[in-house]
Amino acid sequence: MMPADTVALVTGGTSGLGLAVARRLLASGVTPVVLGRSEERGRQALKSLGDTAVFVRGDVADEADVTAALDVALRHGTLRIVVNCAGVPHAAKVVGRNGPHALGRFVDVLTANLVGTFNVVRLAAERMMRNEPSEQERGVIVNTASLAAFEGQVGQAAYAASKGGVVSMTLPLARELAGSLIRVVTVAPGFFETPAVASVPGAARRELDLDLVHPGRWGHPDEFAGLVAHIIGNPMINGETLRIDGAVRMSPGLRRRSS
């Protein structure tokens, strides 16, 4: 049970998985501060969440933006929860029809998904360390990876590298922050119905559907949020990456080429 003044910073909280997490936290009495890059999506998120939630415009990879968001969070209570859902999808072959993968784009993806996650963790942890412990805990940080961290498909070199980095830093972060009574956990979602997948072409979507096991459908954001809520409430979950994927194991993504 979190104290009554608990505040959560939810990055990427204006849509999709992040918005579902913000809703779940709000329902449990936690004040969500959602950080996102789009003012318009922020306004729409607040319409959905209500007056208790707070939106801050910013980029997770920008130190000043994250610092400002943390300052806002602390004005509304005690920061005990951080959920990192911000990130960008990306697909491009190492060598495509127009030549080699753009190096700048590779850097952009790692910056958004990996550097941005670490930036939030380091700045938020420093604030959490000042908290008075509640039930032998000062805070919980939940990061978001992807199945691509383990089974990246053709065209996912940059994306898989960025999410693999999130997975790889989970245990060392948890070990280091344990002394400050802060837990760090990562969730690796499979296929979920979010605005980010709305642009996936029908043929590509049908090919991904072939990897579904049980349940034979894409996940709902609230199911992701339910796992995050359980992690927050269960003090024995720490230093681990939890898959939430319905037993999906992604294929290389070459079915159409071989058929």
CATH architecture of 6-258: 3-Layer(aba) Sandwich (3.40)
Would you say the pTM of this structure is higher than 0.75? Answer: yes
* Among 55, 159, 191, 192, the one annotated catalytic: 159
Within its chain, how far is the Cα of 142 from the centroid?
7
What are the Cα distances from residue 223, in Å, to 190, 244, 246?
Answer: 11, 9, 11
CA distance 82 to 235: 15
In the block, which residue shows the tokens 């959490």? Answer: 128
Our answer to whether residue 159 is catalytic in this structure is yes
- State residue 256's pLDDT score: 44
pLDDT of the chain along its 259 residues, tens only? Answer: 688 899 999 999 999 999 999 999 999 999 999 999 999 999 999 999 999 999 999 999 999 999 999 999 999 999 999 999 999 988 889 999 999 999 999 999 999 999 999 999 999 999 999 999 999 999 999 999 999 999 988 889 999 999 999 999 999 999 999 999 999 999 999 999 988 777 677 777 888 888 899 999 989 999 999 999 999 999 999 999 999 999 999 889 854 433 2
DSSP 8-state assignment for residue 219: B
- State residue 205's pLDDT score: 80
State the Cα torsion 255-17-231-23 to the nearest 10°: -160
SS3 letters across 116-129: HHHHHHHHHHHHHC
